[in-house]
Amino acid sequence: MSGYRLDKGGLIDRSAPRSFTFDGTSYAGYEGDSLASALLANGVDVVGRGFKYHRPRGIMSAGVEEGGAILSVGSGRFREPNVKAPAQPLFDGLVARGQNAWPSVRRDIGRINDVMNRFLAAGFYYKTFFGVRGGTKDWMIFEKIIRKAAGMGAASREPDPDQYETAHASCDLLVVGSGPAGLAAAKAAAAAGRDVILAEQDFALGGSLLAQAGGIDKAVAAIEELRAAGVTLMPRTTAFGLYDGCVAGMIEQVSDDPGMHGVRQRTWIIRPREIVLATGAIEQPLAFGNNDRPGVMQASAVRTYLNRYAVAPGTRAVVATNNDSAYATAADLAAAGISVTVIDARPDGPDAPEGVKVIRDTVPVRTLGGYVLEGVEIGPLDGDGYATRRDTLACDLLAVSGGWAPVVHLTSHRGPKPVWNDTIHAFLAGPTTEPIRTCGAAAGIWDHDACIASGIAAATGAAGPEPQAGETPAMALYEIKTHGKKLKCFIDPQHDVTTDDVRLAEREGFVSIEHNKRYTTLGMATDQGKVGNILGIATMADASGRTIAETGTTTFRPPYSPISIGALAGRGTYRHFRPVRRTPLHAWNIAQGAVMTDAGLWKRPWYFPLPDESVDDAYIREMIAVRNTVGLCDVSSLGKIMVQGPDAGDFLNRVYVNGFAKLPVGKARYGVMLRDDGIVYDDGTVWRMSETDFLMTTTTANAAGVMAKLEEYLQTRWPEMKVQLTSVSDQWAGIAVAGPQCREVLQAVTSECDLSNEAFPFMGIREAKIAGADVWIARISFSGERAFEVYVRGGSSEAVMDALWDAAKPMGGVLYGTEALGALRIEKGHVAGSELDGRTSLRDLGLGGMASSKKAFIGKAMTEREGMTDPDRLQLVGVAPVDPSMRLRAGALLDTRTDLIDHGKGFITAVTDSPDLGHWIGLALVQGGLERWEGKEMTSYDPARDGNTAVRILSPHFFDPKGERMHG
């Protein structure tokens, strides 16, 4: 192929030259060029290699259906693999490389595969490579080699440096495609006063107009008209999928070179009232011998290169067709001064355009040449569809038209299967009840004026023109078969699928089109079958003696053309991947030197290290301080729900296993709630602030879930209950003040509140003022120490914390984090997330006594199931090492054996080093629980980390089992 730039014409700016490189060689093009048109203008012919046989590939199309010119663009971390050259606009400094070839696409040693091609038929890899040894070893050796050879472009391993974003829009009408039909639809809708978005995947608006001689001016005028009418024009925006509710996903290529602060691509989620699909049609190839040779191109693409880009893709052309459309290509080639011969498979056809020789009843049989096209053998077809070679035409460009396939992908995304139309030999969109209408070539309308009528009809909901066969109907022509030596007739030039592959698959029983696709990989390349699908189906139909309609088509899946993962992720990356939840005391904690940890989406203080202190040293120090003096801890992440109303007490009675209706005002109570299936769901405290006002706290993890569940109960199950729920989790901060001196700390900041044991007993609640702020104080304890929790509006929390810390610090108090919090509760035998694992019952956790026998509650009925009372259930125990110098590990299994052959009898859920006891302790769930194991030895089995440790099973209440400290 020896392409060159024409002297005049085209939608290019000759005053704006753009330089680029391909495989290290510098070239020049113009603003308005695609990478493919610039390569053609520079006479570059071989630009890629096929997937399997590594045969040379040239530019085959002028759009996203490209199967040959698939390149890598950009270098280093900017490298984007698998870019379709015709869809990539040229920009200054563009760096492109061929891929899937070594050392280059020109001289690729992978070509050896083509010599071996007789052995590499469809599905050959299912029949071999698994080796003779048992197991997977042999296959994995072959697999390594296969994987290296497979794949196409190489992705960078560095983070994508560019930014992406997501945007939303609504409109009355979304028009997809800016060809004649789309323009007409948008114009008609805008004239009717409707809000219209027109999206076009190409970087220039105008669709097929741009490929026509004189079409550019028409397109420019039409676009100006739409702009004036207020239509939102979105070039370079691909509608990649239609989803439920007629919501369209689109991706806009914002910039090829966005720099540090720009956006590369933007995902649009469009919610239109109605959709008009004017997505056009894609010209189909014909299957004949070596039809993959560089120099073979869609006839319509040739026209696009001539008229839109002012590039002649060759010097001596043959146009092979089965329909009328390619005559325009021939005429335009002749007008550009290129020698051209049309071979038409039909006996009749349009008159020969000026300067064009037409040979009728003739088809291409095979191409000739080396790396690139040098000629084509042609001949007539017999009645059975077999061709005979009769003549040879020398050429360096073979423009092929095998008819047109309407782009029905987007409708298919919604479910309707495409329907075969025998009049125009094409699949059309299936019927839909949704407000989606197809027009123009996408609806099988080929005539220009009919396309416009069809666009207007689609915009207004009127009936449009029907598909017509045309003056000389197209001939159903797919595979050009020959007698004698087999020729390689490609269907899918990217995946190197040939008609023989399809026929072989059919012979082997892969008769469903879905099987055939999967067995041959037909249509699974990056063009998603845009050019090969119909040929494949037709070949399959021919092989199995069925019609194309009977054979059917595979399902089109989104995206319509490949879209980058970065764009879909938008801004939801890195630190913004998930929301960060911070308590009102976050900054305060950080200022005090807290090391933070992730607790779900929350950031919570993990520990507050002294200089050079490790996490283990820090949490032990914090624990000791809480046990001996006092500690402060930010517990604001706990869920907090106001439960109010005349039935609030009864409601809580139904929700919790224990009673709440009779909880006195001014008191709090610990509560446990179950799921419907009787498994423990959540625990927390409930404070009764007045006859009708309760504050419920939940675990951090279940805060949202409990709220949703309570709302469900009230709105769906017990709508008669007069209860109002308000989440105040985000409004209130919580501070635990724990340790023997907690009273002194609080007293120092709340002089008016009597904190004595008599006036403010365990589980009491009081209103008070600290640092001028209204607070609620509850005497509750998670640590097992005498302790209070102070709840205050978030905005006042720093002032309150400052006051408390000013009081606590001189007493030798500490700030403590979640590590110490967890350790303190383990000493106390309080259950938390690692025991409330969604599989444990009240009884399992030693809380069976809490369940009220006087009332029914959620989950009660299910707790009596056989499996829920099985004595072999895992139940809560404490563990300690027999040798006090040994450490324990959460996640270790427990058993009496030292060498396990199964999953053992239980496992350790949580551990801590206990400064009070002087050794490690842990909580565990063990079959049969304390009743079966108390005082007995077991082995802690932890091959993942520490190996075996002898442990003793104890009561889980290690520390102050009678609760004297917290009650004191």
Partner 1 sequence: MIRITCPFCGTRDHSEFSYGGDATVDYPPLDASMDEWNAAIYRRSNPRGPHKEYWHHVNGCRAWLIVERNTLTHEVGAVTFAHPGLRKTVENSA
Partner 2 sequence: MSHYSVWSVLREGLRGQTGWDRAWRDPAPKSEYDVVIIGGGGHGLATAYYLAKNHGITNVAVVEKGWLGGGNTGRNTTIVRSNYVQPVSTQFYEHSVKLWENLSHDLNYNVMFSQRGQLGLFHTPAARDAQAKRVNTMLACGIEAELLNREQVMKMVPHLDYSENARFPILGAILQRRAGTARHDAVAWGFARAADKLGVDILQQTEVTGILREGGRAVGVETSRGTIRAKKVGVAVAGSTGHVMAMAGLERLPIESHKLQAFVSEPLKPLLDCVVSYGAPGSHFYISQSDKGGMVFGGDLDFYNSYAQRGNLPIVQDVAECAMAIMPCLGRVKLLRHWAGIMDMSMDGTHIMSKTPVDNLYMNAGWCYGGFKATPASGWHFADLIANDRPDDLTAAFSLDRFERGYTIDEKGMGPTPKLH
**Site of interaction with partner 1 (CB under 8 A):** 243-245, 247, 269, 271, 415, 654, 676-677, 708, 711-712, 714-717, 719, 856-858, 860-862, 864-865
Q: How far is the CB of 509 from partner 2 (least distance, A)?
A: 4
Q: Are 604 and 595 in contact (CB under 8 A)?
A: no
Interface with partner 2, residue 802, by CB under 8 A: no
Report the residue number, 661 or 708, with the smaller CB distance to partner 2.
Answer: 708
Q: Return the H-helix or E-strand segment holding 385.
A: none
Residue 732 has phi, psi (to 5 degrees) of -110, 135
- 814 CB neighbour count, 10 Å cutoff: 24
Q: Are 651 and 725 in contact (CB under 8 A)?
A: no
In contact, 29 and 37? CB cutoff 8 Å:
yes
User: Does the protein bind partner 2 through residue 510 (CB under 8 A)?
Assistant: yes
Q: Which does 759 bind (CB under 5 to 8 A by kind): partner 1, partner 2, none?
A: none
Whole-angstrom Cα distance, residue 535 to residue 400? 14
Look at residue 541 and give its three-state secondary structure.
helix
Contacted by 112, from partner 2, partner 1, none: CB < 5 to 8 Å by type: none
Please select the residue that binds partner 2; options are 258, 562, 666, 928, rule is CB under 8 A: 562
Out of 469, 476, 624, 868, point to the residue binding partner 2 (CB under 8 A): 868
Q: What's 566-577 look like in SS3?
A: HHHHCCCCHHHC
Interface pick for partner 2 out of 384, 758, 866, 931 (rule CB under 8 A): 866
- CA separation for the pair 416, 408 (Å, rounded): 10
**Whose Cβ is closer to partner 2: residue 121's or residue 882's?**
121
51 part of the interface to partner 2, by CB under 8 A: yes
**Is residue 8 close enough to count as binding partner 2 by CB under 8 A?**
no
Nearer to partner 1, 604 or 654 (CB): 654
User: What is the CA angle 144-146-149, rounded to 5?
Assistant: 110
Footprint on residues 331-370 left by partner 2 (CB under 8 A)? none
CB of 733 to partner 1, least distance (A): 23
> Is the CB of residue 713 less than 8 Å from the CB of residue 859?
no
Strand ranges across the sheet with 94-97: 25-31, 13-22, 94-97, 70-73, 80-84
Q: Which does 739 bind (CB under 5 to 8 A by kind): partner 1, partner 2, none?
A: none
Please, how many CA atoms are within 13 Å of residue 815, restricted to the half-sphere of its CB? 24
* Among the listed residues 2, 339, 432, 512, the single contact to partner 2 using CB under 8 A: 512
Nearest partner of 176 among 509, 410, 453, judged by Cα = 410
Site string for partner 2, 836-865 (x = CB under 8 A): -xxx----------------------x--x
DSSP state of 431: P
**Using an 8 Å Cβ cutoff, are 707 and 640 in contact?**
no
Which one among 135, 259, 484, 810 touches partner 2, defined by CB under 8 A? 135
Binder to partner 2 among 8, 25, 76, 147 (CB under 8 A)? 147
| Nearest alpha-carbon partner for 255 in 269, 265, 246 | 265
Residue 719's binding partner, choosing from partner 2, partner 1, none, with beta-carbon cut-off 5 to 8 A by kind? partner 1
Among residues 14 and 273, whose Cβ is nearest to partner 1? 273
Q: Minimal distance in Å, beta carbon 964 to partner 1? A: 37
Interaction of residue 507 with partner 2, rule CB under 8 A: yes
Find the DSSP H helices in 97-152: 112-115, 124-127, 137-149
Closer of 385 and 705 to partner 1 (Cβ): 705
Q: How many residues bind partner 2 (CB under 8 A)?
A: 126
**Nearest approach, Cβ of residue 259 and partner 2 (Å):** 16
The binding track of 661-700 with respect to partner 2, each residue x by CB under 8 A or -, is --------------xxxxx-x-------------------
Residue 711 touches which of partner 2, partner 1, none (Cβ within 5-8 Å per kind): partner 1
Q: Which residues contact 169 (CB under 8 A, 6 or more apart)?
A: 197, 232, 268, 269, 270, 271
Residue 141: count other Cβ atoms within 10 Å of its Cβ.
12
Distance separating alpha carbons of residues 479 and 284, to the nearest angstrom:
12
Per-residue tokens: 795: 């905005």
The SS3 assignment for 196 reads: strand
Smallest gap from Cβ 143 to partner 2, in A, equals 5
Q: Give the separation between CA 916 and CA 814, rounded to whole angstroms.
A: 17
Q: Is 901 in the site for partner 2 (CB under 8 A)?
A: yes
**Nearest approach, Cβ of residue 434 and partner 1 (Å):** 9
The nearest distance, CB 133 to partner 2, in angstroms, is 9
DSSP secondary structure code for residue 89 in this structure:
B
Report the DSSP beta bridge partners of residue 281.
406
In the complex, the smallest distance separating the C-beta of residue 68 from partner 2, rounded to whole angstroms, is: 15
Give the residue with the Cβ less far from partner 1, 23 or 434.
434
The interface partner of residue 712, options being partner 2, partner 1, none and the CB cut-off 5 to 8 Å by kind, is partner 1
Of residues 233-252, which lie at the interface with partner 2 (CB under 8 A)? 241, 243-244, 247, 249
Q: How many angstroms separate the CA atoms of 40 and 311, rounded?
A: 7
**53-61, 160-168, 224-232, 299-307 -> range binding partner 2 (CB under 8 A):** 160-168
Among 504, 641, 742, 807, binds partner 2 (CB under 8 A): 504
Calculate helix-pair angle for 499-507, 533-544, nearest 10 degrees.
40
942 binds partner 2 (CB under 8 A): yes
Question: CB 524 → partner 2: shortest distance, Å?
Answer: 8
Task: Using the minimum distance from each CB to partner 1, give the nearer residue, 781 or 841.
Answer: 841
Complex with partner 2: residue 726 or 898, whichever CB lies closer? 898
Q: Distance (Å, rounded) from C-alpha 701 to C-alpha 718?
A: 26
Site membership for partner 2, residue 136 (CB under 8 A): yes
At its nearest, how many Å lie between partner 1 and the CB of residue 862?
6
Nearest to 438 by CA among 408, 467, 466: 408
d(CA 408, CA 182): 15
Q: Least distance (Å) from partner 2 to the CB of residue 461?
A: 26
8 A C-beta contact, residue 822 and residue 912:
yes
Longest distance between any two alpha carbons in the chain, whole Å:
114
- The partner in contact with residue 716, picked from partner 1, partner 2, none with C-beta cut-offs of 5 to 8 angstroms by kind, is partner 1
Q: How many CA atoms lie within 13 A of 324 on its CB side?
A: 13
Binding mask 73-92 for partner 2 (x = CB under 8 A): -x--xxxxxx----------
Q: What is the 3-state secondary structure (H, E, C) of 582-607?
A: ECCCHHHHHHCCCEEEEECCEEEEEE
Tell me if 833 contacts partner 2 by CB under 8 A. Answer: yes
Residue 861 contact partner, candidates partner 2, partner 1, none, CB within 5 to 8 A by sort of partner: partner 1
Task: Give the nearest distance from C-beta 575 to partner 2 in angstroms.
Answer: 5
143 binds partner 2 (CB under 8 A): yes
Interface with partner 2 includes 875 (CB under 8 A)? no
Given the DSSP bridges, would you call strands 581-582 and 602-607 parallel, antiparallel or unpaired? parallel
Site membership for partner 2, residue 262 (CB under 8 A): no
Kindly give the interhelix angle for 533-544 and 513-520, rounded to the nearest 10 degrees: 120
Residues 448 to 487 in contact with partner 2, rule: CB under 8 A:
486
Q: Which of partner 2, partner 1, none sits in contact with 856, Cβ below 5 to 8 A by type?
A: partner 1
Residue 623 CB, nearest distance to partner 2 (Å)?
A: 17
Q: Which does 903 bind (CB under 5 to 8 A by kind): partner 2, partner 1, none?
A: partner 2
- Is there binding between residue 160 and partner 2 (CB under 8 A)? yes
